[in-house]
Amino acid sequence: MGIAPSSRCRPAAQFQMVAQAKKARKETSLDTTEPGPEGRKAPTRKPRADSVRNRERLLDTARQVFAAGGSGASLEAVAKGAGVGIGTLYRHFPTREALFQAVYEREVDELVTLAETISEGVDAVTAMRRWLHGLVRMVATKRGMLTALEPALESSQPLFSNSTARLLQAAGVLLQRGVADGMIRDDVSGEDMMRAVLGICYAKQDDGWQARTILLLDVFVDGLASRR
């Protein structure tokens, strides 16, 4: 019910999370090509098949559950939907954030790809505008996406996740193009911009939502493009 679909908060849990966040890390980055900084002692076993399968199921289910119910959706519902115990869910994704991150990594990928392809043969401001329109369209389609992008703005994590960094960088590149051409002011960073953009995207998605949001983003881009 918050400003996003149902979204937000999670009362006092955050205090425990602080303590917990550390021992998380490990399992989350299962796919980052990281053969191990320390030379593995034993020639580690192959990961168990059921583990891999469950992880996949959890991700699939989480995607659906979050899309339907916002980030506030129950983790227990995700576990049940995936047909695994709650313990299994927590083992794979020690924090709520870890799960989000894993689920929506792909969404971010789409955005990054879009940023790369969209700027072909148009001026920087137009490219920026198109990218943001694309972003709105994607957010409109998959309501969970905003939730996923939210952590991109969290400065709490010491060094943000891979996909966050890539997202911010994609924004930064688009900005830079404009700056280089003298079409966009140079005092706004990719992070700044994404904060404003995602902020504008929040809010209840009622009828005219998409059109209004695009208008507001255009206004913002106009502001970016106004030299002063």
**Binding partner of residue 39 among DNA, a second copy, none, CB cut-off 5 to 8 Å per kind:** none
**Binding partner of residue 44 among a second copy, DNA, none, CB cut-off 5 to 8 Å per kind:** DNA
Query: How many CB atoms neighbour CB 49 within 10 A?
Result: 8
Q: Is 18 in the site for DNA (CB under 7 A)?
A: no
CA distances from 166 to 152, 177, 202, 206 (A): 10, 17, 21, 30
Q: Which is nearer to a second copy, 7 or 88 (CB)?
A: 7
Residues 76-115, mask of contacts with DNA (x by CB under 7 A): xx-----xxxxxx-xxx-xxx-------------------
Residue range at the interface with a second copy (CB under 8 A); choices 1-9, 32-40, 57-65, 133-141: 1-9
Q: Is the dihedral angle over the CA atoms 55, 57, 63, 68 positive or is it negative?
A: negative
Closest by alpha carbon to 109, among 68, 161, 35?
A: 161
The residue count of the chain comes to: 228
φ/ψ bin of 41: left (φ > 0), alpha (ψ from -120 to 50), beta (otherwise): alpha
Binding site for a second copy (CB under 8 A): 1-4, 6-14, 17, 70-74, 97, 150, 153-156, 185, 187-188, 192-193, 195-196, 198-204, 206, 212, 215-216, 218-226, 228
